[in-house]
Structure 1
Amino acid sequence: MKLKNVELETILANMVQEIDFSGVIHVENDTGVIHTSAHGFSNRSDAIPNTTNTRFGIASGCKFFTAIGICQLVERGSISFHSKLSNLLDHSFPQFNEEVTVHQLLTHSSGIPDYFDEDEMDDFEELWVKNPMYHMRELEDFLPLFQNQQMKFTPGEKFYYNNAGYIVLGLIIEKVTGIPFTDYVEEHIFKPAQMEESGYFSLDSLPAKTALGYIDKEDGTWKTNSYSIPIKGGADGGAYVTAGDFTKLWQSLLNGKLVSKEMLDKMMTPWIETNNDNDYYGYGMWMEKAEDKIVKYHVMGYDPGVSFASAYYPATETIVVIPSNKEHGPHKLMYLLEDRI
């Protein structure tokens, strides 16, 4: 980074105060940690501060894990990116196009219906009025929310962000390996990456040093997200990680500990243009281009009471991880850091 650390600390501290940020900011490159700091409370009622070792929910940041898991199975020859959903699962999807492939599910271009369609529903919390969140413990619990609905478009036609597609990918991992999805991720991704503090924890039995998610209301009051998200995370989101652990994930992936160099290249290929200019999607991650060159690989997550941003910048080999137990903040801090990387 071009700025002296003192300058960086001041600029970050000012922004943290301005946006009332709650969470952790972690910046690291090949020379070591450039900046790490914790802000706000992991538990507001008891005024327990966040620390750099606090675990945070990262919502859709977890799609990264699912994509890595699928790529591992392709490397083993258990499935291929061209494998069809209709040949992989025994579940009933009466309206789905039989040509939907693993590649299309990974790149949000399958056209299958989503259980949370942002065109039709504004608030993720609305889902759990008729479908109690405390019943949502397994991937199969999500199937009734989308499996009988009609296709949104022809497979491969366009990019359309889809949570259900990643639920289906998680079910494929379970079918092929014969073990629960969360066990697979903890054994084949978290362990080799030495992510010792991370896991898929139930909201009703969170371990120590785990931040509660907070939903701030316009009148200044707040509530936790305990009844606003599924009780246990899965293939489309909901794991808890520390900022340090997520840094280890990037490092392990880039260093060939999770997939081969050839497979990493496939993950990091800009397969499809998203709905934003110069923004693309690979397998489980977004990419930003400038002058036909990829300058940023990143993942993000939003849930009630959760926001998350993390990126790898290849030019400087810098990793940024910013989890938060509030609904906004990480991206403003990330853009501020980007101006100075």
Structure 2
Amino acid sequence: MDKQKIGNRLTKLQQELRFSGAFYAHHNEKVVAESYGYANRSEKIKNELATRFSIASGSKIFTSVAICQLVEKDKIAFDTKVKDFLEIDFPYLDQNVTIDHLLTHTSGVPDYFDEDTMDDYEVLWESLPMYRVRSARDFLPLFQYKRMENKRGNFFKYNNTGYIILGLIIEQVSGIDYSEYIEQNIFQKVGMANSGYFSMDALPEQVALGYIENTNGQVKTNIFSLPAKGGPDGGAYVTVKDIVTFWKALLAGEVVSKKMTEIMLKPRVIVDDDILYGYGGYFEMNEKSVVKYIQMGYDPGVNYRLVHYPDLDLTIAVCSNNSDSAYEMLKEMERMMLK
């Protein structure tokens, strides 16, 4: 791995894309990492490797890990039926929807933000002000009394509501707030010292503001575009090093047991051709095995990608505080590091 060559090429690509963010690649104990752009444009505060970025739906894996931890403790099971367990009224929920269905996006529950039909996340907050959304329960008005969207178990359809319900289950079982559970039982456990769930109106130091560029070229922050605080379906803040640390710990069996890690990282549902989904997210497969694990997150002003190649001991994470360009940076890193 020629660090200088990779660094030169990525700097050139960053300039072409106007990428703002950071990346961190870990390959056979070697590291390539860099940051670009501004965490705060108006104050000219630069992004650094220690900058904390929102990773949007990339946070769903923390919800999955929490569920797996509770399964290991015999508090719940993957075949637990939501109706028989959760002490919240969902009058139209299919009686046979299980935790497994929620984890694999096959539950058919109504998605509060259907990414196939909706392209403007900000529309949600016209009926429910974003500043009121600070916990899993705060999302309930968006879906609690809606009818099932699809038949349970019929097919994979990406679903944010399912992970909100999983978060509610975590809270009921653990007796503490979802974000507290994740911070105590995952972040602190694996040494993700700089990661957490932060309120948009009370951000700590070294956090990147998310920026949205309109079609007319004007730029604004995303403070009025997202829930005030992230939750079970997305919105954690991490550094690029912290998220790679998490993956290293997960694969080493330090987050859940190695047996449970295998269960978590087992492909379960076909998404498209060689792409499958399991409790741990997306997988690219060949005829014999997993080629790479794939994580992604998109929100207004947020763009995140991570891949892990199990046979190559290669993990690449890219975080951006713009709405795009993380994927292009990641693909170039893959091309250069897989030569």
TM-score range with shorter-chain normalisation? over 0.9
Alignment counterpart, residue 72 of structure 1, candidates 69, 79, 84: 69
> 1:221, CA displacement in angstroms?
1.1
- Give the match for residue 208 of structure 1: 205
Q: Is 1:56 the equivalent of 2:53?
A: yes
Query: 2:28 & 2:169 partners in 1: Cα distance?
Result: 36
The alignment's C-alpha RMSD in Å is 1.0
Map 1:120-269; keep pairs closer than 5 Å. Answer: 120-269=117-266
- Give the match for residue 278 of structure 1: 274
> 1:13, CA displacement in angstroms?
1.4
Q: Read off the aligned partner of 2:198 and give its amino acid letter.
A: F
Q: Which of structure 1's runs of 4+ aligned residues deviate more than 6 A? A: none
Query: 1:80 & 1:30 partners in 2: Cα distance?
Result: 36
> 1:118, CA displacement in angstroms?
2.1
Q: Assess if the C-alpha contact under 8 Å between 1:66 and 1:284 holds in 2.
A: no
> 1:237, CA displacement in angstroms?
0.5
Alignment counterpart, residue 327 of structure 2, candidates 309, 313, 331: 331
Query: 1:204 & 1:113 partners in 2: Cα distance?
Result: 29
Map 1:302-317; keep pairs closer than 5 Å. Answer: 302-317=298-313
Query: 1:120 & 1:330 partners in 2: Cα distance?
Result: 23
Query: 1:188 & 1:138 partners in 2: Cα distance?
Result: 18
- Give the match for residue 289 of structure 1: 285
Number of residues paired by the alignment? 337
Query: 1:167 & 1:271 partners in 2: Cα distance?
Result: 21
> 1:5, CA displacement in angstroms?
2.0
Provide the TM-score with structure 1 as the length reference: 0.97
- Give the match for residue 13 of structure 1: 11
> Does the residue aligned with 2:220 lie in a helix, a strand or coil?
strand
Q: List per-residue Cα deviations over 1:294-331 (Å, max 9, x = no partner).
A: 11102110001001001111121111111110000111
Q: List per-residue Cα deviations over 1:242-281 (Å, max 9, x = no partner).
A: 011101100110111111111111111110011x321111
Map 1:28-39; keep pairs closer than 5 Å. Answer: 28-33=26-31, 35-39=32-36
- Give the match for residue 98 of structure 2: 101
> Does the residue aligned with 1:202 lie in a helix, a strand or coil?
coil
- Give the match for residue 296 of structure 2: 300
Q: Read off the aligned partner of 1:76 and give its amino acid letter.
A: K
Query: 1:316 & 1:255 partners in 2: Cα distance?
Result: 15
Q: Assess if the C-alpha contact under 8 Å between 1:107 and 1:284 holds in 2.
A: no
Q: Percent identity?
A: 45
5+ unaligned residues in a row in structure 2: which ranges? none
Q: Read off the aligned partner of 2:3 and give its amino acid letter.
A: N
Q: Read off the aligned partner of 1:168 and give its amino acid letter.
A: I
Query: 2:270 & 2:164 partners in 1: Cα distance?
Result: 22
Alignment counterpart, residue 85 of structure 2, candidates 80, 83, 88: 88
> Does the residue aligned with 1:189 lie in a helix, a strand or coil?
helix
Query: 1:77 & 1:83 partners in 2: Cα distance?
Result: 11
> 1:292, CA displacement in angstroms?
3.4
Q: Read off the aligned partner of 1:13 and give its amino acid letter.
A: T
> 1:293, CA displacement in angstroms?
2.2
5+ unaligned residues in a row in structure 1: which ranges? none
Query: 1:103 & 1:296 partners in 2: Cα distance?
Result: 22
Q: Read off the aligned partner of 1:309 and give its amino acid letter.
A: R
Q: Read off the aligned partner of 2:316 and give its amino acid letter.
A: V
Change (3 A) 1:208 1:228: same
> 1:119, CA displacement in angstroms?
3.3
Query: 1:16 & 1:112 partners in 2: Cα distance?
Result: 40
> Does the residue aligned with 2:295 lie in a helix, a strand or coil?
strand
Q: Read off the aligned partner of 2:10 and give its amino acid letter.
A: L
> Does the residue aligned with 1:192 lie in a helix, a strand or coil?
helix
Q: Read off the aligned partner of 2:137 and give its amino acid letter.
A: E
Query: 2:115 & 2:233 partners in 1: Cα distance?
Result: 15
